[in-house]
């Protein structure tokens, strides 16, 4: 009798132990494998990758396409990508696009209500811009570059950089390094509409940031003049279920990748500066990515219709799907990195920006 009781107790202990082991090993809901459209494509550990893990390749033969001067006419690589890429979930006909644009122009406009979690906002924006496939494997994918020194009369080092990405093709940037040696905190800057990298350098404090001790990479935007070229790309993107603002966000992350790889830049101390349309796209970047440690913006947008449709124009930021999230994007607390909002055009001067970047990137 005692033997049978002992066996029963022993069997109970075994069963209890097995049950506890199963419970502890069973993954929590948030740890289980997610569907492809919910995967956190920019997990923070990717930003901790060492420079040697980043696929950045020098190509001294790399030059811009002939039609990329001026840059607002540089649309062929965008259009090639949109022709070759798989149509997105929100692909639509011309008539459906007009209806969608009407829906964010009138009174009955659908917006997210409440406070989304950081992951819900990130996943929602990635899906709205349809850039999940671009973010997946970003560090491992080859980013080609070529640099050309630009003579200057001061002690700032300046280079023209031409990049080539397998998806969005070739684009250009200016790279400014402070005087001295060692590694510097870095800043990616995105200009506004109708402004070149050179204009941003001279009029939006790009050169001043370099003088303050930051390595500054200023993107020279393509199809960025609010004209028929921008309209052509933006419209084709929306018809195919993509967004031009999403492609611009991806380019910012390619610029970030370059700074994380560059030996003269401390990839753990990276800031982001936007102006006007550059702020509009950067506002999205800091909701989907944690690779920057400070961000300065000077404009918000609803991502609705911003150019006159009666003139047949369509802006790069216009997206019915991104529009849905605009109230959350206007909330500074939803940024995944510390950020400040400055007056448009930094009309009060750069003091607050210098101080913020100085403290956050120290």
By C-alpha distance, which of 205, 240, 112, 221 is closest to 163? Answer: 221
Burial 90-99 (b: 16+ CB within 10 A, else e): bebeeeebee
| Burial of 298 (C-beta count, 10 Å sphere; 0-12/13-18/19+) | buried
Q: Is the pTM of this model over 0.85?
A: yes
By C-alpha distance, which of 169, 187, 165, 170 is closest to 178? Answer: 187
CA angle centred on 319, ends 315 and 321, rounded to 5°: 175
Give yes or no for a contact between 123 and 270, defined as CB atoms under 8 angstroms apart: no
Give yes or no for a contact between 281 and 64, defined as CB atoms under 8 angstroms apart: no
Ordered by where they begin, the domains of the chain are 33-360 (3.40.50.1820)
Could you list the pLDDT tens digit for every one of the 362 residues in the chain? 434 344 443 334 333 343 333 333 333 333 323 333 333 333 333 456 778 799 999 999 999 998 888 888 899 999 999 999 999 999 999 999 999 999 898 655 678 888 999 999 999 999 999 999 999 999 999 999 999 999 998 999 999 999 999 999 999 999 999 998 889 999 999 999 999 999 999 999 999 999 999 999 999 999 999 999 999 999 999 999 999 999 999 999 999 999 999 999 999 999 999 999 999 999 999 999 999 999 999 999 999 988 888 899 999 999 999 999 999 999 999 999 999 999 999 999 999 999 999 999 99
Tokens of 218: 């200023």
Give yes or no for a contact between 144 and 138, defined as CB atoms under 8 angstroms apart: no
Quick one: DSSP state of residue 344? G
- DSSP-assigned states of every residue in 65-123: -GGGSSGGG--HHHHHHHHHSPPPTT---HHHHHHHHHHTTSS------S---HHHHHH
Task: List % helix, strand, coil for the chain (3-state, nearest 5).
Answer: 45, 15, 40
């Amino acid at each position: 009798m005692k033997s049978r009781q002992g066996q029963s107790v022993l069997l109970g202990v075994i069963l209890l132990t097995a049950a506890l082991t199963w419970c502890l090993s069973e993954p929590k809901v948030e740890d289980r494998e997610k569907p492809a459209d919910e995967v956190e494509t920019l997990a923070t550990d990717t930003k901790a990758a060492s420079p040697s893990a980043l696929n950045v390749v020098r190509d001294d033969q790399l030059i811009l396409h002939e039609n990329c001067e001026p840059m607002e006419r540089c649309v062929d690589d965008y259009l090639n990508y949109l022709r070759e890429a798989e149509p997105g979930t929100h692909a639509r006909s011309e008539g459906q696009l007009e209806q969608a644009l009407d829906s964010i122009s009138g009174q009955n406009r659908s917006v997210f209500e409440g406070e989304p979690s950081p992951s819900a906002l990130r996943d929602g924006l990635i899906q709205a811009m349809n850039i999940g496939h671009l973010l997946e494997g970003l560090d491992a994918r080859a980013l080609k570059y070529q640099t050309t020194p630009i003579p200057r009369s001061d002690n700032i080092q300046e280079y023209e950089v031409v990049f080539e990405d397998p998806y969005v093709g070739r684009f250009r940037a200016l790279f400014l390094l402070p005087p001295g040696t060692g590694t510097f905190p870095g800043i990616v800057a995105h200009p506004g509409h109708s402004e070149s990298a050179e204009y941003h350098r001279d009029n939006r404090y790009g050169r001043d940031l370099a003088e303050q001790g930051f390595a500054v990479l200023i993107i020279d935007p393509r199809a960025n003049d609010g004209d028929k070229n921008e309209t052509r790309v933006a419209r084709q993107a929306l018809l195919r279920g993509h967004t031009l603002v999403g492609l611009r966000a991806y380019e910012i992350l390619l610029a970030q990748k370059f700074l994380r790889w560059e030996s003269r830049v401390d990839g753990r101390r990276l800031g982001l500066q936007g102006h006007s349309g550059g702020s509009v796209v950067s506002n999205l970047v800091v909701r989907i990515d944690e690779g920057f440690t400070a961000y300065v913006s000077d404009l918000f947008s609803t991502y609705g219709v911003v150019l006159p449709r009666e003139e047949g124009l369509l802006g790069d930021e216009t997206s019915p799907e991104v529009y849905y999230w605009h109230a959350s994007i206007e909330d500074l607390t939803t940024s995944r990195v510390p950020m400040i909002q400055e007056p448009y055009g930094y009309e009060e001067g750069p003091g607050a920006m210098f101080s913020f970047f100085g403290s956050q990137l120290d």
